[in-house]
Structures are given as C-alpha cells and as structure tokens.
C-alpha cells in the first residue's frame, strides 16, 4: 500500500511485481526500481531526463518531497544518487553528524534533544537518526536471598533460561546423506511471550524443581533494536540534507552553534562523519594545499628562469583565475564543493601558461637580441597573442560540455566546468594587460636593487696595521 501511495503521489505508473517493480514517472525520473524491505521502501531512479532545460536534481527532489509529504504513516528521505559519498555508514541523507560515548544511556537521553535542535535549523532538511528505540526487553530481577534460601544458584537460573530461550545446540543427528542440528528451546508460541516465564522451573540443590515466580519477578522496558559502534564506542549518527540555497560551510557553523547551546557533557564526543567529515577536513587543508602548490610552482619557475622575480610575474595571473572561478559559481548558483576545488587546482596549471609564453619570448629577446625590457615584452604580446588565444579557447571548449551538463550525473561535474570556464575567461581578459605591467614593474625593482648595491658596497674588513 505504501508503494502504491508513493507511486501515485509521485506520478508513477507501476507494473506490480513481488519484491521489485519498475516504474515510469513524469517528474523528471523516467525509470526507477523499487525494493521492498522490512518497514521501508527504497526507490532508485534511473537516468534523469529533465522536462525543462533549467530543471535539476534538487528541483525534482523538491517536487517529490511536496507530493509525498501527505502520505500518512510514512517519512520520506531523498538524496541525489550521483553525489560522491566518502566514508561514514549508510544513511537516509547525504551528510552525517555523529555522537560517540562510552555510556549508552547518556547517548539515549541526549538523542531526542540533539535531533530537535537539528530539526529546528531552517538550513537542514530530512533530519533523521539511526537510533531505533522501539524494541522491548524483559528484565528478570532475582531475589538472591530468597533464591539462596530455596537452594537455587545463579548458575542454575542462567542454565534454565538459556535452555528455554537461548536456542542451545544439543548435538547433531547424523543421517546417511546429511546431518541435522538438534536445538533445544521452548515452544514457539511461548518463546516470545513474557508470561511464559511463569512456566519456568529451576532445579535446586536438593533436586527439586522450584518455579521461577518463587524468587524472581520480571519487568518490561524499552530497548534499542541495535547499538551502532564507532571506534569501539557506542555511537549515534544523525543524517541530513541541505535546504535549497544553503552552503555547507554556513551549515557547519549553525550546527556547531546549536550543539554548543545544548551544553552536552564532555563524555559525549561529537563530530561530522562521512561526506560532511571529509568536507570539514578539506576546508582546513585547502589553504595549505594551495600554498604548497604555489610554492612548488615558484621553485620550479625560479630554477627555469634563474631568477627570483620573474616567477612572481607568472604567479600574478593566479588571483584573477580564482576570482573568476568563484564569480562563475556564484552566478550559476552553485556551491564551492570538491569539484569546484578541483577546478581551481586545474586553473593553477592552465592559467599560468599565458604568462609563461610571454615571459619566455621576452627573456629570450633580451638575452639574444639585446632588446630592452619594454620592447621585448611588447613584441612578446604581439607575437604570442594568437597562441595564447588558441590554447585558452581549446581549454574552454574542453570544459564546455562539463559546464553545460550532458548525461547522467552531470550535476556533479557541472561545478568543475563552470569553475574552469569562469577562471579562464576572467584571467584571459586581465592577464593580457596585467602581465606586461607586472613584468616591467618587477624589472624596474631589480634595476633599483642592483643600483643600490652598486652605490653602497658592503664594507671590507682591513687587515692588522703595522706598528
């Protein structure tokens, strides 16, 4: 019934088959598979064919969420299937936040408060937890003094309960072609009923059978169906998706602020996990990685040109490329995710080739033909304009299919193409004018430094004077 309700709400026409069904939808997901599990349904859409040119996976998910939110007794969680998932356990949403503690009862007491705090954030959707507390247990409380008076030991009580409910394997029965395990247990209709404990008899020290009710009582209590662990400690994972228009960097700050307001004890450790943990770790390492890449490029160019200044001329083209990539992502309403970060790294290697072609020609003209810096860089700009435009155009055309987005999972690759094209366009417009200026400015600084050293030589220590 839940599958039919979802299919009708989402606009699917389904062909019913036991356990698996194929469906066709008019909401942007043309073909999907439905797997019926215990208490849940898992729909896996096929290749998405947007009905509108500006349609996206998030827009389709928004329509499905609005159309299925009225289904009674069901909670629906949606996540893009093409997103990169890094680490973490399987969850119903894309991002994860984990609580970890050595005290399970402490975790159970804080779970509803943390979930309510996360659900109160407008930047989050589909907030859920992997904690399942709808199970039950029956706790047997033994009066040890009365049991000792009756001659019943704890070992005999444990043996009696294990024989009734532990499914003990007694011995195998060997046949000619097979063997069968003999399992001792209570009758099936009594093994799940707590009232069956009234029929349990325990053997005392004198051989008499004492009813369990003579020295014990039992009580029912809620219990988790399963306890997840992380790093050998009990853990609970909250998964969530981002609301439309929310950036993950802003969401992490909001989550940390909301958790800090709860004043949780220090025994509970909290951290982002899975894709969220990888993203927060990358935010800390991104500046260092960029600085290392720039330092390696500077050392390589310094060895190539045998100069400390000319590599700075080439590196001066990088800021415009980074600004162009960020502006392009902002104009296209895209997040600066891991694919955009890869695009910025690619720009570091692509953009500097414009300055390299001009600096190579200018230095060669100065050293072999005796031209001045101004004449050499002007001639380099004139003669290297066509190769610069051709290489930039080739790189932009290579990134164009990524930016437009063709095929399944294209939304994952679009930030990469948009970042490359935006960085190339802005750097192409600026570096053709800024590179000659920076080249001449640094050359003048070099001449001034050499003149200052020439007019102010370092003092030379004189030897000892004769008496």
Q: Please check whether residues 51 and 188 belong to one and the same domain.
A: no
Three-class DSSP category at 248: helix
Given the DSSP bridges, would you call strands 168-174 and 179-184 parallel, antiparallel or unpaired? antiparallel
User: What CATH number does residue 322 fall under?
Assistant: 1.20.1640.10
- Determine phi and psi for 408, rounding to 5 degrees: -70, 140
For residue 33, the number of C-alpha atoms closer than 13 Å in the C-beta half-sphere is: 8
pLDDT tens digits, 189-208: 777 777 788 888 898 888 88
Q: Please check whether residues 418 and 337 belong to one and the same domain.
A: yes
237-252: average pLDDT: 82
265-270: average pLDDT: 87
Q: Please check whether residues 251 and 120 belong to one and the same domain.
A: yes
pLDDT tens digits, 362-373: 888 888 888 888
Q: Please check whether residues 97 and 229 belong to one and the same domain.
A: yes
458 pLDDT above the threshold of 80: no
197-223: average pLDDT: 87
163 pLDDT above the threshold of 70: yes
409 pLDDT above the threshold of 70: no
361 pLDDT above the threshold of 80: yes
Tell me the average pLDDT of the chain. 78
Structurally, the chain folds into a number of domains equal to 4
- Which residues are 25's β-sheet partners? 12
Instruction: Assign 3-class secondary structure to 398-461.
Output: HHHHHHHCCCCCHHHHHHHHHHHHHHHHHHHHHHHHHHHHHHHHHHHHHHHHHHHHHHCCCCCC
| Containing structural domain, residue 52 | 1-76
Q: Please check whether residues 20 and 109 belong to one and the same domain.
A: no
What pLDDT is attached to residue 233?
Answer: 86
What pLDDT is attached to residue 23?
Answer: 41
Q: Region of 99 please: left (phi>0), alpha (psi -120 to 50) or beta.
A: beta
What pLDDT is attached to residue 17?
Answer: 39
16 occurs within a structural domain: yes
CA–CA distance from 426 to each of 117, 324, 345, 421 (Å)? Answer: 43, 5, 16, 9
For residue 392, the number of C-alpha atoms closer than 13 Å in the C-beta half-sphere is: 24
Dihedral (Cα; 238, 244, 250, 253), 10-degree rounding: -30
Q: Please check whether residues 111 and 209 belong to one and the same domain.
A: no
22 pLDDT above the threshold of 50: no
Q: Please check whether residues 125 and 238 belong to one and the same domain.
A: yes
């Amino acid at each position: 019934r839940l599958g039919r309700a979802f299919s009708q709400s989402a606009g699917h026409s389904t062909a019913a088959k036991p356990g698996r069904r194929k469906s066709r939808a008019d909401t942007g997901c043309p073909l999907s598979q439905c797997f019926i599990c215990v208490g849940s349904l898992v729909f896996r859409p096929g290749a998405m064919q947007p009905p509108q040119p500006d349609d996206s996976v998030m827009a389709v998910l928004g329509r499905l969420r609005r159309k299925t939110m009225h289904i009674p007794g069901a909670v629906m969680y949606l996540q893009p299937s093409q997103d990169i998932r890094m680490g973490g356990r399987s969850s119903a949403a894309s991002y994860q936040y984990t609580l970890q503690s050595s005290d399970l009862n402490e975790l159970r007491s804080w779970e509803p408060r943390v979930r309510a705090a996360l659900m109160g954030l407008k930047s989050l959707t589909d907030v859920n937890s992997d904690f399942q507390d709808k199970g039950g247990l029956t706790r047997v409380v033994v009066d040890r003094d009365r049991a000792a008076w009756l001659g019943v030991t704890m070992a005999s009580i444990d043996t009696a309960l294990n024989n009734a409910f532990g499914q003990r394997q007694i011995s195998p029965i060997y046949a000619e072609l097979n063997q069968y395990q003999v399992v001792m247990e209570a009758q099936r209709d009594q093994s799940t009923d707590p009232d069956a404990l009234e029929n349990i008899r325990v053997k005392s020290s004198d051989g008499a059978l004492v009813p369990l009710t003579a020295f014990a009582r039992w009580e029912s209590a809620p219990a988790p169906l399963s306890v997840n662990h992380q790093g050998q400690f009990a853990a609970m994972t909250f998964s969530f998706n981002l609301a439309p228009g929310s950036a993950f960097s802003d969401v992490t700050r909001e989550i940390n602020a909301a958790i800090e307001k709860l004043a949780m004890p220090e025994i509970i450790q909290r951290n982002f996990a899975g894709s969220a943990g990888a993203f927060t770790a990358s935010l800390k390492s991104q500046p260092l990685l960029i600085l290392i890449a720039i330092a390696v490029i500077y050392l390589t160019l310094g060895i190539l040109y045998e100069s400390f200044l000319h590599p700075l001329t080439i590196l001066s083209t990088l800021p415009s490329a980074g600004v162009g990539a960020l502006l392009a992502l902002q104009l296209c309403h895209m997040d600066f995710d891991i694919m955009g970060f890869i695009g910025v790294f690619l720009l570091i290697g692509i953009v500097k080739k414009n300055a390299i072609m001009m600096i190579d020609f200018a230095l060669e003209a100065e050293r072999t033909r005796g031209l001045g810096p101004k004449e050499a860089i002007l001639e380099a700009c004139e003669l290297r304009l066509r190769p610069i435009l051709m290489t930039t155009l080739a790189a932009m055309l290579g990134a164009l299919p990524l930016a437009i987005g063709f095929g399944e999972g294209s939304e994952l690759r679009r930030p990469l193409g948009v970042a490359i094209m935006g960085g190339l366009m802005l750097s192409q417009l600026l570096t053709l004018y800024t590179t000659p200026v920076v080249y001449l400015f640094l050359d003048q600084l070099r001449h001034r430094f050499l003149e200052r050293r020439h007019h102010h030589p370092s003092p030379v220590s004189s030897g000892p004077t004769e008496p």
